[in-house]
Amino acid sequence: MHPDPLSWLCGLPDRQGTTLFLRSPEHDGETQDSTDLDLLAFDAVDEICVERLWPPSGPPSLDLLRLPAALLKQPERLASFGLITHRLLTSTLVTDPSGRGGPAQDRARELCWEPAHQRARLASFLEMAQLTVREVGVSWSFPAQALFWLHMTHAACFAAMLDAAHRLCPNVYTRPFLRLAELEALVGTALVEPMIDTLQLGDDPAALELPLREMQHLVAQRCAEPAWPATIGDGTRAEYRYWIATGEVQTRINAAREMVARGSRAGAVFYLRYCAYSLARVAMIHQRVAEGSRLALSFIRPEREVGPDLLAHHPDLYALLNKVLAGPQKVTLDQVHCALAWVQQLRGVTQRWLTQNDLGFDGLPDWQPHRLPG
């Protein structure tokens, strides 16, 4: 435990009604617990929001995933909530002023492996896999971006297979290697090396640091938080603030360095590429608001092709993003097609594992890149 930062947080006037859960164990095997403390915060928000706070005592920072307090009255939802279920069940209750946090966690734990709740979580992971493959079809002009979508496809498949095996994996979307060797042994299929080869994760993570810092510098210069139209939800606004904050990229770089020190170079590359894409999304969302868009923009899922949009408005950001996503080697369309072929095999591995665990999803739809008209 880190009593000083947690006591500081609990003492803030606007947080005294917040129910807090702390990730347990604080150290996840790839980074030290001094990097940050991951917290679930059930408080006065209407949708999922992210926030990083820096206590006056200094590191570690507090990385909050904020959820509506009303969910504490809905343990059935908390048992069906994808990776949030995994986060809740791998966390320790810190403060519970409402008295609902402990009972909600206990009830979600009782319910989580019941078929209806587990199948709901699996469906969310499989939908993520299908949608990220679909995004490849609108990324052909930017092959490195197309390959990035398949990073997310892999993570979603691993989430589904680990959940089917009753393994909790709260960080799998950003740190998939934490449980991957265990999963590989369970399913009896090679997963680690094919993933590294397919996604070109053998790059030097240190080489990604400078372009990431340059991206953050450009985004900070150009993309101060805008006057939001009413159509932009609080979740997207919070994510935007999170990534433009001074120090966020360096915090991520520090975590990646610790991952390398603990033997996870490929994991560090995966992690930093996610950061680069998030910075690119800040620039894209800023551009949409400047154009007067009234779309309900998602932070992660792009409303336009990433490559052409960045080239039109931020060509220097495009070049930097390409350096992070592609590394020193140019990503080719042939490599993307090879990656798609492996993803189809991974889909088969996932479906067989679900069937073996009596969670068949026999109607699993095809995962195909989107085909543009004409």
Instruction: Please say if the pLDDT value at position 25 is more than 90.
Output: no
**pLDDT of 373 higher than 70:** no
Other beta carbons within 10 angstroms of residue 258's beta carbon come to 17
Give the span between the Cα atoms of 277 and 324, in whole angstroms: 9
Average pLDDT over residues 325-345: 94
Per-residue pLDDT, averaged over 75-95, amounts to: 97
- The pLDDT of residue 162 is 98
Across the range 109-122, mean pLDDT stands at 96
Contact 310, 318 (CB under 8 A): yes
Please say if the pLDDT value at position 36 is more than 90: no
pLDDT, the chain, mean: 93
pLDDT at 35: 67
Question: Which pLDDT does position 34 carry in this prediction?
Answer: 55
What is the average per-residue pLDDT within 359-367?
A: 79
> What's the pLDDT at 57?
81
pLDDT in tens, 41-81: 999 999 999 999 999 887 789 999 999 999 999 999 999 99
Say if pTM beats, i.e. exceeds, 0.75.
yes
CATH ID of 3-97, from 3.30.460, 1.10.10, 1.10.760, 3.40.50:
3.30.460
Q: What confidence score (pLDDT) does residue 218 get? A: 97
Q: What are the tens digits of pLDDT across the range 278-334?
A: 999 999 999 999 999 999 999 999 999 999 999 999 999 999 999 999 988 889 999
What are the tokens at 95? 């403060």
Percent of the chain past pLDDT 70, that is, above it, reads 95
Please give the helix or strand (H or E) that residue 342 lies within, else none: helix 333-356
3-state class percentages of the chain: helix first, strand second, coil last, to nearest 5: 55, 10, 35
Q: Where are the domains of the chain?
A: 3-97, 119-326
Alpha helical stretches, state H, 188-314: 192-198, 209-222, 234-244, 248-261, 265-290, 306-313
Does 96 have pLDDT greater than 80? yes
Rounded to an integer, the average pLDDT of 4-14 is: 90
Q: What would the pLDDT profile of 124-181 be if each residue is shown by its tens digit?
A: 999 999 999 999 999 999 999 999 999 999 999 999 999 999 999 999 999 999 999 9
Question: What does the pLDDT look like over 182-221, one tens digit per residue?
Answer: 999 999 999 999 999 999 999 999 999 999 999 999 999 9
Indicate if the pLDDT at residue 30 is higher than 90: no
Q: Which two tokens stand for residue 51?
A: 């926030």
Q: How far apart are CA 163 and CA 189, in angstroms?
A: 17
- Which one-letter DSSP state was computed for residue 365? P
The H or E element that residue 53 is part of is strand 49-53
C-alpha to C-alpha distance for 245 and 64, rounded to whole angstroms: 14
